[in-house]
């Protein structure tokens, strides 16, 4: 049995960084796009000491200045309970952080339903009562080269077979390796999101496109 499968079958102690002090609510006046709204996704690396050491832009709707200001704010003010690896040891952690504005006002930092995912998968049939295009949240443990060593699905009510599929597919390619504050690649625990869609839905979309 591979380490990946062992992580699913056995007790896996992996956790992502959790905010302890500071706030994710912007302390600056955000700039809006022409429609009066904006959204920002950041990828933040947190050290084993709970300090945000890297912050980079992911999805940005609106001026990029919002992302830069958020990164500066988070690295200056936020402190985290660090990520934990499969054995429960403090580790470098990589997470996504969102912020949204509408009509010029901040509306929170919830994950949107249209969240750009790390991996899109097709399946013969959607599992259980999950809707088409459901997003599944995973935690991956990667070595310094990005190779996935361990995986855990955190979305509730996911059958073991589905969790196994998601983890196997997530591990087929290296994750983006995390780096320490000196820029050296390090083992890390990372947030990873997968969108699952049935093949029948894909086939129907293709048929509609062909008719146009």
- DSSP annotation of 175: -
pLDDT, the chain, mean: 88
Give Rg (Cα) of the chain. Answer: 19
Cα→Cα distances 136→9, 79, 103, 139, Å: 18, 26, 30, 10
pLDDT in tens, 163-192: 998 999 999 999 999 999 999 999 999 999
| Residues 6+ away with beta carbon under 8 Å from 72 | none
pLDDT in tens, 61-114: 999 999 999 999 999 999 999 999 999 999 999 999 999 999 999 999 998 888
C-alpha 203/C-alpha 118 separation (Å) is 22
> Which among 158, 21, 180, 2 has a CA at the least distance from the CA of 86?
2
Domain count, the chain: 1
Cβ atoms 156, 168 nearer than 8 A: no
Cβ atoms 133, 197 nearer than 8 A: yes
Domain housing 196: 3-211
pLDDT confidence of residue 122 = 86
Percent of the chain with pLDDT over 70: 89
Burial of 51 (0-12, 13-18, 19+ CB in 10 A): middle
**Segment 126-132 mean pLDDT:** 86
Q: Is the pLDDT of residue 201 over 90?
A: no
């Amino acid at each position: 049995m591979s380490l990946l499968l062992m992580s699913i079958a056995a007790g896996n102690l992996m956790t992502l960084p959790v905010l302890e002090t500071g706030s994710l609510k912007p302390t600056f006046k955000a700039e809006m796009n022409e429609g009066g709204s904006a959204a920002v996704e950041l990828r933040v690396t947190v050290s084993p000491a709970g300090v945000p050491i890297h912050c980079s832009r992911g999805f940005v709707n609106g001026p990029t200045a919002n992302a830069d200001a958020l990164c500066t704010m988070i690295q200056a003010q936020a402190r985290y309970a660090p990520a934990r690896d499969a054995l429960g040891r403090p580790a470098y952690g990589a997470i996504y952080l969102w912020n949204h504005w509408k009509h010029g006002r901040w509306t929170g930092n919830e994950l949107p339903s249209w969240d750009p995912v790390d991996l899109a998968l097709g399946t013969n049939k959607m599992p259980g009562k999950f809707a088409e295009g459901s997003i599944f949240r995973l935690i991956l443990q990667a070595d310094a080269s990005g190779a996935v060593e361990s995986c855990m699905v955190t979305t509730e009510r996911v059958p073991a077979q589905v969790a196994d599929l998601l983890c196997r597919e997530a591990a087929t390619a290296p994750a983006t390796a995390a780096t320490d504050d000196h820029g050296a690649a390090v083992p890390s625990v990372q947030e990873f999101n997968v969108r699952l869609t049935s093949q029948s839905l894909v086939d129907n979309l293709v048929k509609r496109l062909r008719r146009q």
